[in-house]
């Protein structure tokens, strides 16, 4: 059965988005530095392997999973290494395709916004990780600065108290059964991770300068210098459009 991204040119999506890509690279590198030893990595929703170079040198075995055969084919042609395996599957179908307690690190980036039951994803991740294994996840932040200002200007003064996910699809696309596109409240994600047996190690606010105006007036190296500072500074109030979390399996 064809996956949604089989008909979408995802590699081309990243053309002209050097700032967003490198902001995520910064975040992941910082989080990887917190993990002492990595033997086996599982990336869920790996797509065409955009993030593989970040952890390639750390692992002896790598499994890339994605619902799209087209994107995985692209990844296989890029990384012709025996230690990299691909598996076409949705995240919820991973058990029993991957042995429980067999992975040191799971990476899930730009996936959760298409997931309506994050509890199930976190449960599967916990099952798959070894004792004291790590999880790096990213999610679209419902309470990012631009959204908060927009809601307040509309007169929605209760927005900060609304913890339910926000589906960013239009009514038309919902009727056409498109993939969900959900922005999550950080408190909900953190709470669900803890419920599934994870301890939060570090949180980073990412893509804080995601603005066409700012990207036009500042060079990329300056943008990333500021971004690197803001990722930690703003993590306490979660104002970035994208939130990265490093969590450790503890129970």
Per-residue pLDDT band for 159 (boundaries 50, 70, 90) equals: low
User: Which are the contacts of 219, defined by CB distance < 8 A and separation ≥ 6?
Assistant: none
User: Which are the contacts of 84, defined by CB distance < 8 A and separation ≥ 6?
Assistant: 52, 62, 63, 64, 75, 76
User: Which are the contacts of 27, defined by CB distance < 8 A and separation ≥ 6?
Assistant: 138, 204, 206, 231, 244
Q: Cα separation of 54 and 15, whole Å? A: 19
Per-residue pLDDT band for 1 (boundaries 50, 70, 90) equals: low
CA angle at 117 for the pair 112 and 123, rounded to the nearest 5°: 90
Q: What is the pLDDT of residues 26-65, one digit of tens each?
A: 999 999 999 999 999 999 999 999 999 999 999 999 999 9
Provide mean pLDDT across the span 88-97.
Answer: 91
Provide mean pLDDT across the span 63-84.
Answer: 95
Q: Cα separation of 183 and 113, whole Å? A: 6
pLDDT of residue 8 exceeding 90: no
Between the two ends of the chain, the Cα-to-Cα distance in Å is 36
pLDDT of residue 175 exceeding 70: no
Q: Tell me the pTM.
A: 0.91
Rg (alpha carbons) of the chain, rounded to whole number: 18
Q: pLDDT > 70: what percent of the chain?
A: 90
Q: What is the pLDDT of residues 221-239, one digit of tens each?
A: 999 999 999 999 999 888 8
| Domain count for the chain | 1
Candidates 217, 85, 191, 198; CA nearest to 131 is 198
Q: What is the mean pLDDT of the chain?
A: 90
pLDDT of residue 171 exceeding 70: no
User: Which are the contacts of 125, defined by CB distance < 8 A and separation ≥ 6?
Assistant: 44, 106, 108, 135, 196
pLDDT of residue 148 exceeding 90: no
Q: pLDDT > 90: what percent of the chain?
A: 74
Candidates 94, 98, 97, 125; CA nearest to 189 is 125
Element (H, E) at 133: strand 129-140
Q: How many CB atoms are closer than 10 A to CB 20?
A: 19
CATH number of the domain at 102, please. Answer: 3.40.50.150
Q: What is the pLDDT of residues 123-139, one digit of tens each?
A: 999 999 999 999 999 99
pLDDT score recorded for residue 3:
74
245: phi then psi, degrees, rounded to nearest 5:
-130, 135
Q: Which domain holds residue 106?
A: 4-249
CA atoms within 13 Å, Cβ hemisphere of 223: 23
Q: Cα separation of 231 and 205, whole Å? A: 5
């Amino acid at each position: 059965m064809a996956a949604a991204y089989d008909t979408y040119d995802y590699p081309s999506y990243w053309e002209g988005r050097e700032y967003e890509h490198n902001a995520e690279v910064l975040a992941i590198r910082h989080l990887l530095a917190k993990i002492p030893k990595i033997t086996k990595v599982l990336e869920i929703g790996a797509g065409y392997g955009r993030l593989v170079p970040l952890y390639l040198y750390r692992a002896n075995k790598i499994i890339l999973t994605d619902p799209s055969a087209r994107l995985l084919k692209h990844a296989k042609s890029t990384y012709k290494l025996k230690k990299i395996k691909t598996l076409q599957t949705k995240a919820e179908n991973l058990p029993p395709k991957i042995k429980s307690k067999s992975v040191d690190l799971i990476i899930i980036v730009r996936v959760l916004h298409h997931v309506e039951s994050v509890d199930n994803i976190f449960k599967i991740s916990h099952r798959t990780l070894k004792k004291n294994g790590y999880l790096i996840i990213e999610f679209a932040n419902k309470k990012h600065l631009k959204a908060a200002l927009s809601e307040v200007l509309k007169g929605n003064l209760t927005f900060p108290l609304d913890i339910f996910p926000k589906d960013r699809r239009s009514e038309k696309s919902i009727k056409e059964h498109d993939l969900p596109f959900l922005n999550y409240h950080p408190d909900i994600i953190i709470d669900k991770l803890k419920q599934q047996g994870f301890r939060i190690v570090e949180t980073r606010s990412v893509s804080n300068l995601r603005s066409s105006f700012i990207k036009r007036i500042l060079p990329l190296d300056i943008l990333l210098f500021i971004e690197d500072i803001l990722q930690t500074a703003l993590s306490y109030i979660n104002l970035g459009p994208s939130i990265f979390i490093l969590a450790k399996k503890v129970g």
